[in-house]
Structure 1
Amino acid sequence: MVVGGEGNDMERTSQPKIRLEPRNREEAAQRISIAFRAPQENFTIRDFELGKVLGVGSHSKVVRAKKKGTGHVYALKIMDKDYIIKENKVSCAKLERIVLDQLDHPGIVGLYFTFQDARSLYMALESCEGGELFDLISKRGRLSEIEARFYTAEVVEALEYLHGLGLIHCDIKPENLLLTADGHIKVADFGSVRPAKDSRVTVPLNLLSENTRALAGTAAYVPPEILNSSPVSPGNDLWALGCTLYHMLAGASPFKDTSEWLIFQRVISRELIIPEYFSDEASDLIDKLLDMDPTKRLGAGPDGYLALKLHPFFKGIDWHNLRKGSVRKLAMEFIARKNKDSYSSTQNTTHHSGVLSQQLTGFDRSNGSTSSSEAHPHLSTVSSIDSFDSKWAEFLEPGESVIMTSKLKKFRKLKSKKVQLILTDKPRLISVSTSKLTEKRKIVWSDNPSSINVQVVNSSHFKISTPTKVMSFEDAKQRAWQWKKAIESLQKQ
C-alpha cells in the first residue's frame, strides 16, 4: 500500500513498509499502474482525536476518529503491520485498499484517504453512525419480516453491484452491515474480498491470482463449497445472505453451535431448522439461498439478480427508489437511542428454541448494596452466569454490584485455566481462579476505549486488551458479544 511520507521519528525506524512497488522485474511485468482516487496522505495518528472502538478484527481495529482542524469524523481502520506480514496477509491488505478505492455505490462504505507509520496502516473510511446491524438485531432479539425485507433488499442491491464488477465480498454478516445516520445499510469490511478473473475492477495480476481458494469469512456464514476447497464465486455471498436473513428473523445464525468444528459439520450436512413463525415466503427464500449447489442459489442462476428480486418475499419493494424512500422506523429509533443506551442487558437474543438470557434486578440486596441499575440507569444488573453464590461477594467492595459474571476459560500460551470473570459497576474487572479462590487478579480499567478494549474473535472467544497485555477468554455459553458491550457501556462515550 503506497501511503504517506516519512515525516516523523516513528516512520524512520527500521519497521517494514508495505508497498505496492514490485520487488523485481518479473513481478513488475505482472503489475499494472493504479492511480488512486483516495489520496495517500502524510498524516500521523496524532492528527486525529480518537474515540470509541467501533470494531475489532484479527489484525485490525476500527476507531471513531475526528480530524483535528477540520472536525471531520471518520471510521479509522488501523491495521497492524507485524501481524499482516507474519500471517502472510499483505496481499489482502493491498487488495482491500485497491478495491475500496474503485467502488462507488450508496450501499458500500466509502474510502477517503490512507496513511501509515512504522507500526500500522490506516484507512479513513466513511463513518456509519448507526453502528452494526448485529447490534440492532441483538437489541430487539429479532426483527419483523417488514424490517428484515427492507434491510435484505438493500444488501441485495449492494451485492448486485459488487457481483456485476466481478467481486465477491466473502464475509457478509450482520456485523459487516452498517447503518448510516439516516438508517440505510452499507456493506463494510472488504478484508476478505476476492476478485474474479474477469473482474472489471483494476487489480494487479499477482493479486488477482492469489487466494482464490483460501478459506475466508466467518464460520457461521461460510458456505459448504468453501469448506471443500472450491474456488470462490458469487454464490458464496448469496449463501451468507441467506444466513443473514435467517439471523434477522430468528436472532441467531442458522448453523450456530458451540465450536467452529461443530458449525462446519452442520453446514456440510445442511442441518437447517426453519422456525414455524417464519412466513412461507421467507422460508422459501432462505431455502433457495442455502442451496448446497452454489450455481443454483437464487441470484446465481441464468436469470441472475432479476430472479432474486422477483421472489415473493420482496413483494412491495421499489427497487428503483430503494434508498430514496422512507427508512424503517425501527432503525431511526435505534440510532437515536444508541449513544444513550449503548448496552441493554434485557436484549432478548431469541433463538428458534426460545431460550432467553437470564436477568436479575439487583445483586446482594440483603447487605444494603446499591444496585447497578441505580448507579447506572442505562444498565440492569445481569447474571450471565453458570452459577452464582456468596463466595464471589467477598471480592466486592462495599456498595459495589455485579454487572456481569461468568465462569470462563482463560488461555495463556498452550495452557488454560477456569476463572470467574466479574464486571462490577465501580467499574472494575476481576479475574478469580475457580480452583484457588485466593488467586485474584484485577484487570487494569480505563474509561478510554483505546487503552482497554474487547476484541471478539467469535461468539465464544474474546480478548481483553490493556496497554500491558492481551488476555484471551472462552465463554462456553457464547456470550463474547455481551461481554464486549457490557464493558464498553461502562466506558465514557
Structure 2
Amino acid sequence: MYGVGSYSKVVRAKKKDTGTVYALKIMDKNFITKENKISYVKLERIVLDQLDHPGVIQLYFTFQDTYSLYMALESCEGGELFDQIMRKGRLSEDEARFYAAEVVDALEYIHDAGLIHRDIKPENLLLTADGHIKIADFGSVKPTRESKLTILPNTTYDKACTFVGTAAYIPPEVLNSSPATFGNDIWALGCTLYQMLSGSSPFKDASEWLIFQRIIARDLKFPDHFSEEARDLIDKLLDIDPAKRPGAGPQGYTALKMHPFFKGIDWKKFTQVAEDDDDSQDSTWNLTHMGYGLERVPGARRDIIMISKLKKLQKLTNKKVQLILTNKPKLVCVDPSKFATKGNIIWSDDSADISIHVANSAHFKISTAKKVFSFEDPKQRAWQWKTAIESFRNR
C-alpha cells in the first residue's frame, strides 16, 4: 500500500494483461456521497485529465465497481519526499535546492493553468525511480475564475477560503477565512523547503491549535545550519502578506527563480509541457471502465462524459488535442498546451449527418455533413469513443 487519505487509499497494482504497474487510488462511493465529496472527486479527475507536465502525476484511466471509484495513476517508485527526509534526518542544501526547483517549475505550470493546489507538502511530493519530483493528490484543487482548463459547469468560485489542507502547511490567511490565492501554495512551498533542510515543519507543535497559534503569530525560528540564502528565501516565502511572497507577487515566478538560493539552477532545462510518452500504455477498457460513471452516485450531475488527449490527424501535420464529450450532447476540441477551445464538432442525432468509423482500437473518424475529423488515441479507446458518442443518439 502506498498511502491512506481521508476518503481513499492508494495501492500498488499491476494490470494483468500488460504487466504495467500503477498507483491505484480507491475511493468509497458511500463515503464520498455522505461527506459531500462528489464535486471534489469529479474535479480531481477532470483536472488530472488535462494537466500535462513532467512534474505533475499522470492519470491513465479510471473505472468503478458497485462500491468504489478507481484512479489508475502513475506509479512513483521512489516513494514520498517525506519518507526520504525522515530516513536522512534532513536533506543537504544541494538536494533541497534541486527538489525545490522542480516543485517551483511544476507549481508555475499549475498556477498558469489557473489552479491552486492547496495541499503542497512533502507527503504529496512523490519521487520517480530516477529521483524526480511529481506533485500528487489534487483532491483539494481549486480553480480560479481565470482557469484555462475545461472545468465542471457547476464549479463554484466562492470568495471564502474553504479550510482544506494539512495543519502544519496552512497559511495564516486561510485561518482568517481570506480568499484562496496562489500565495497559499507558495506558503506551503516555504514550509516544505524548511522541512527539507531541518527535518521538521517550521510551526510544529503538540496540537493543531498550538500549530495555528504559531502560524498566526509567525513564530518562525531558523536552525543555525541554514545558509543566509535559505533563510532569506524561506523568510520571503512565509511572508504574512500573500501578495509579497515571491511567485505570487507582481513579478510572478521570475522573482522566485532569480533568488540567490537557486543560483546554479538552469531553469531552461525544465520543460513547461511534456510530450506524450504513454503511447505504450494499454488502456483498452469497455464503456463501464472509461470514466467514473458518477451519474450512478446519488446527487451527482452528469457533465463531462469522456475526455482524452488525442492526435488530430491532418494531411501535413498531426496536432495534439483534447477531445471532450459532454452530456448536452456536445463535442469540443481543446488545445492542451494553451488550454484554449479550438472548436466544436457539429452535433446531430441523425446518423446521416454525423457518424463514427473505427479503423482499429487506436484510430477513428468522426464524419459530419461538411467535414471529416481523424483521430488517433494512444490509449486505444477508439471503440469507447464510438460507443459513447452513439449512446447519445435518439435518447
Fold equivalence (TM over 0.5): yes
Q: Deviations over 1:365-421 (max 9, x none)?
A: xxxxxxxxxxxxxxxxxxxxxxxxxxxxxxxxxxxxxxxxxxxxxxxxxxxxxxxxx
- The structure 2 residue matched to 1:139, chosen from 73, 87, 91, is 87
Q: Which residue of 1 aligns with 2:330?
A: none
Q: Distance in 2 between matches of 1:212 and 1:133?
A: 31
- The structure 1 residue matched to 2:67, chosen from 115, 119, 124, is 119
Q: Deviations over 1:277-308 (max 9, x none)?
A: 10000000000000001111011111100010
Confirm or deny that 1:179 pairs with 2:124: no
Q: Distance in 2 between matches of 1:257 and 1:74?
A: 36
Please state how far the C-alpha of 1:105 moved relative to its aligned partner: 0.1
| Contact 1:170/1:216, CA 8 A, preserved across alignment | yes
| Contact 2:239/2:245, CA 8 A, preserved across alignment | yes
Q: Distance in 2 between matches of 1:251 and 1:236?
A: 22
Q: Which residue of 1 aligns with 2:154?
A: 206
SS at match of 2:56: coil
Identity %: 72
| Contact 1:196/1:208, CA 8 A, preserved across alignment | no
Task: Provide the alpha-carbon RMSD of the alignment.
Answer: 1.3
Q: Distance in 2 between matches of 1:249 and 1:195?
A: 31
Q: Distance in 2 between matches of 1:127 and 1:262?
A: 36
Mean Cα deviation higher: 201-210 or 292-301: 201-210
Please state how far the C-alpha of 1:213 moved relative to its aligned partner: 2.2
Q: Deviations over 1:75-120 (max 9, x none)?
A: 0000111111111111111110110000000000000000011111
Q: Which residue of 2 aligns with 1:273?
A: 221
Q: Which residue of 1 aligns with 2:194?
A: 246
| Contact 1:107/1:186, CA 8 A, preserved across alignment | yes
SS at match of 1:225: helix
Task: Identify unmatched segments of 5+ residues in structure 2.
Answer: 273-395
| Contact 2:170/2:184, CA 8 A, preserved across alignment | yes
SS at match of 1:308: helix
**What is the 5 A alignment of 1:26-45?**
none
SS at match of 1:205: coil
Q: Distance in 2 between matches of 1:211 and 1:67?
A: 43
Q: Deviations over 1:219-276 (max 9, x none)?
A: 0000000111111110000000000000000000001111111111111111111111
Q: Distance in 1 between matches of 2:106 and 2:59?
A: 16
Please state how far the C-alpha of 1:323 moved relative to its aligned partner: 7.2
Q: Which has the higher contact order (CA 8 A, sep 6+)?
A: 2
Confirm or deny that 1:258 pairs with 2:203: no
SS at match of 1:76: strand
Q: Distance in 2 between matches of 1:124 and 1:156?
A: 25
Q: Distance in 1 between matches of 2:6 and 2:17?
A: 32
Q: Distance in 1 between matches of 2:96 and 2:271?
A: 15
Q: Distance in 1 between matches of 2:256 and 2:39?
A: 33
Q: Which residue of 1 aligns with 2:111?
A: 163
| Contact 2:49/2:59, CA 8 A, preserved across alignment | yes
Q: Distance in 2 between matches of 1:302 and 1:96?
A: 29
Confirm or deny that 1:61 pairs with 2:17: no
Confirm or deny that 1:194 pairs with 2:142: yes
Q: Distance in 2 between matches of 1:271 and 1:55?
A: 31
Q: Distance in 2 between matches of 1:197 and 1:168?
A: 11
Q: Which residue of 2 aligns with 1:307?
A: 255
TM-score (norm 1): 0.54
Q: Distance in 1 between matches of 2:159 and 2:74?
A: 27
Q: Which residue of 2 aligns with 1:152?
A: 100
Amino acid at match of 2:114: G
SS at match of 1:236: helix
Amino acid at match of 1:223: P
Q: Distance in 2 between matches of 1:83 and 1:271?
A: 37
| Contact 1:63/1:76, CA 8 A, preserved across alignment | yes
Aligned residues: 272
Please state how far the C-alpha of 1:211 moved relative to its aligned partner: 8.5
Q: Which residue of 1 aligns with 2:165?
A: 217
| Contact 2:103/2:133, CA 8 A, preserved across alignment | yes
**What is the 5 A alignment of 1:461-476?**
none
SS at match of 1:70: coil
Q: Which residue of 2 aligns with 1:282?
A: 230
Question: Does the C-alpha gap of structure 1 residues 204 and 323 become closer, same or farther in structure 2, counting only changes over 3 Å?
Answer: closer
| Contact 1:62/1:76, CA 8 A, preserved across alignment | yes
Please state how far the C-alpha of 1:55 moved relative to its aligned partner: 0.9
Please state how far the C-alpha of 1:321 moved relative to its aligned partner: 1.2
Amino acid at match of 2:108: E
| Contact 2:160/2:177, CA 8 A, preserved across alignment | no
Q: Deviations over 1:414-472 (max 9, x none)?
A: xxxxxxxxxxxxxxxxxxxxxxxxxxxxxxxxxxxxxxxxxxxxxxxxxxxxxxxxxxx
Please state how far the C-alpha of 1:190 moved relative to its aligned partner: 0.3
Confirm or deny that 1:102 pairs with 2:50: yes
| Contact 1:298/1:307, CA 8 A, preserved across alignment | yes
Please state how far the C-alpha of 1:57 moved relative to its aligned partner: 0.4
Please state how far the C-alpha of 1:210 moved relative to its aligned partner: 5.7
Please state how far the C-alpha of 1:322 moved relative to its aligned partner: 4.1
- The structure 2 residue matched to 1:82, chosen from 13, 19, 30, is 30
**What is the 5 A alignment of 1:405-484?**
none
SS at match of 1:261: helix
Larger Rg: 1
